[in-house]
């Protein structure tokens, strides 16, 4: 069976992953707010490995992870209600084998948020291993690699999640990584302009 056209895949990617895009933007605001300070603890609890460096670092917190899960669920529910019965609904791949119900939309939104947060962790782990501190600019020979990984790690996680729910192939994952990476970059630049990010990349 041939893969859908590039334009169709782009439309499916944006329609399917719209909730996690919204959740990620709002979460950037959430983690800067003074509320729920007890959750602003690092996921790695300050642990270091044999190299003396942190596992993930201070920027990967329970507050950020919880924010993505809860905001993802809310955004998924809202998006499902918004597109129900519209021409966009068939393009949301989570509904390929399941009805657009409130519970299912909230569940897939929550899972998108969880996938987004979890798939950022290996990138942070690798950065710590090569000596890049959390929240700092990239440098040296690793610059290009980590600039790319920063844009696509969480997007790839969400695209892989879609494979569990829909009869799509790896072309969807590749296209989603491409357009999602570009979208992530644009959003980062926008958040930097709004002073919600310390660095543009």
d(CA 50, CA 29): 34
| Residue 89 CB-density burial (10 A; 0-12 exposed, 13-18 middle, 19+ buried) | middle
Categorize the per-residue pLDDT at 144 as very low, low, confident or very high, splitting at 50, 70 and 90: confident
45-102: pLDDT as tens digits? 999 999 999 999 999 999 999 999 999 999 999 999 999 999 999 999 999 999 999 9
Give a yes or no: residue 199 inside a domain.
no
Q: How far apart are CA 147 and CA 197, in angstroms?
A: 15
Total domains present in the chain: 1
The answer to whether residue 64 sits within a structural domain is yes
For tokens 């190299």, name the residue: 51
Asked if residue 95 belongs to a domain, the reply is: yes
In a domain? residue 91:
yes
Residue 158 included in any domain = yes
Which 8-state DSSP code applies to residue 96? S
Spatial distance between the Cα atoms of 82 and 50, rounded to a whole number of angstroms:
50
pTM over 0.85: yes
Domain of 53 in residue numbering reads as 7-193
The Cα 158–Cα 162 span in angstroms is: 7
DSSP helix/strand/coil, 34: coil
Task: Let me know if residue 169 belongs to a domain.
Answer: yes
- Separation between Cα atoms, residue 52 and residue 159, nearest integer Å: 34
Q: Is it the case that residue 136 has pLDDT exceeding 90?
A: no
Instruction: Report DSSP state, residue 201.
Output: -
Q: Is residue 106 part of a domain?
A: yes
- Using DSSP, state whether 178 is helix, strand or coil: helix
Residue 200 lies in a domain: no
- Average pLDDT taken over every residue of the chain: 92
**3-class DSSP state of 61:** strand
């Amino acid at each position: 069976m041939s893969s859908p056209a590039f334009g169709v895949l782009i439309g499916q990617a944006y329609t399917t992953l719209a909730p996690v895009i919204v959740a990620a933007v709002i979460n950037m605001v959430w983690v800067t707010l003074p509320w729920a300070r007890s959750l602003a603890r690092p996921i790695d609890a300050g642990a270091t490995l044999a190299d003396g460096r942190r596992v993930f670092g201070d920027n990967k917190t329970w507050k950020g992870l919880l924010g993505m899960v809860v905001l993802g669920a809310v955004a998924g529910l809202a998006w499902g209600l918004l597109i129900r019965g519209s021409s966009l609904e068939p393009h949301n791949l989570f509904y390929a084998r399941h009805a657009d119900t409130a519970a299912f939309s909230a569940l897939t939104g929550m899972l998108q948020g969880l996938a987004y947060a979890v798939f950022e962790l290996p990138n942070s782990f690798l950065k710590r291993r090569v000596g890049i501190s959390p929240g700092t600019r990239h440098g040296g020979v690793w610059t290009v690699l980590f600039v790319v990984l920063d844009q696509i790690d969480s997007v790839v996680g969400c695209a892989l999640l879609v494979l569990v729910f829909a009869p799509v192939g790896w072309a969807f994952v590749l296209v989603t990584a491409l357009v999602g990476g570009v979208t992530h970059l644009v959003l980062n630049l926008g958040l930097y302009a709004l002073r919600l990010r310390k660095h543009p990349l």
